[in-house]
């Protein structure tokens, strides 16, 4: 894989609660330089990122119901509307993990659909659904894939990075098998080096959430020079 191809798969991410404006500005500058797919920032930084990346091919992703997913659906929808109006091109929402584990499929589906509809009404932003795979059985992950597709989401995504585990190649393969080529699959959580990034792509990921994005792409650039 070429360095430019890898960069085009990456959501260059800073979601730590202590992230500062300087860090967000640095993130956006790096995204411009490397042409990452998006920057992924907290809702409060959405407008800033959109202004810094205006006129570039880099999108702005933000998070909704983050990181626990048990926010009221109406609140998720309002938050979605606000961040899309602020410039978000993609919304990464956390599904209601407890409802999924309870088997309450109607609630989970409606929760996702509320965000999808709000994103569409506000300007057509894409929606990724974060499962928090470390908390789920394989059967629950497969159900989450089905419900995400039924609700009209664009991507399914492994993790917030705030639970006990992040992306695994086994989870990516399971999710890709469940959604086929109909939805994107985003691997997120614990992708800190090129080998892990390549393994996730090989397993079926079409997007990667990383904070080590620059190091990963630079390693590929070095290999290309050799």
Structural domains present in the chain: 3-225 (3.20.20.70)
- Residue 40 to residue 53: CA distance in whole angstroms: 12
Q: Read off the pLDDT of residues 197-217 as tens digits, 9 standing for 90 and up.
A: 999 999 999 999 999 999 999
Tell me the per-residue pLDDT of 138-173, one tens digit each, with 9 for 90 and over.
999 999 999 999 999 999 999 999 999 999 999 999
pLDDT band at 50 (very low <50, low <70, confident <90, very high): very high
Digit-coded pLDDT (tens) for 5-45: 999 999 999 999 999 999 999 999 999 999 999 999 999 99
Give pLDDT tens digits for 70-85: 999 999 999 999 999 9
pLDDT for 226 beyond 90 = no
The pLDDT assigned to 80 comes to: 98
Q: Distance between CA 203 and CA 88 in Å, rounded?
A: 28
Q: Report pLDDT digits (tens) over 164-197.
A: 999 999 999 999 999 999 999 999 999 999 999 9
Model-level pTM? 0.97
| 102-134 tens-digit pLDDT | 999 999 999 999 999 999 999 999 999 999 999
| Catalytic residue positions, numbered | 92, 157, 186
Residue 159, pLDDT score: 97
Alpha carbons 112 and 95: distance in angstroms, whole number = 7
* Contact (CB, 8 A) for 149 and 110: no
Tokens 């057509």 correspond to 124
Under 8 Å between Cβ of 36 and 218: no
Q: Is 10 exposed, middle or buried (0-12, 13-18, 19+ CB in 10 A)?
A: buried
């Amino acid at each position: 894989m070429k360095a430019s191809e890898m960069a085009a798969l990456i959501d260059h991410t800073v979601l730590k609660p202590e992230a500062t404006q300087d860090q967000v500005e640095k993130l956006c500058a790096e995204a411009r330089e490397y042409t990452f797919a998006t920057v992924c920032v907290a809702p409060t930084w959405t407008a800033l990122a959109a202004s810094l990346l205006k006129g570039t091919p880099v999108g702005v992703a933000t998070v909704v119901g983050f990181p626990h997913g048990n926010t009221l659906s109406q609140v998720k929808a309002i938050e979605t509307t606000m961040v899309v109006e602020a410039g978000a091109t993609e919304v990464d929402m956390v599904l209601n993990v407890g409802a999924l584990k309870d088997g309450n499929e109607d609630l989970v589906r409606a929760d996702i659909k509320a965000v999808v509809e709000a994103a569409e009404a506000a300007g057509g932003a894409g929606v990724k659904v974060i499962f928090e795979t470390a908390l789920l059985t394989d059967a629950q992950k497969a159900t989450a894939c089905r419900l995400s597709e039924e609700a009209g989401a664009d991507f399914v995504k492994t993790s917030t990075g705030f639970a006990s585990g992040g992306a695994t190649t086994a989870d990516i393969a399971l999710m890709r098998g469940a959604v086929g080529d109909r939805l994107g699959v985003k691997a997120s959580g614990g992708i800190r080096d090129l080998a892990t990034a390549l393994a996730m792509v090989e397993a079926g990921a079409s997007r990667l959430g990383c904070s080590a994005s620059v190091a990963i792409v630079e390693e590929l650039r070095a290999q290309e020079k050799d």
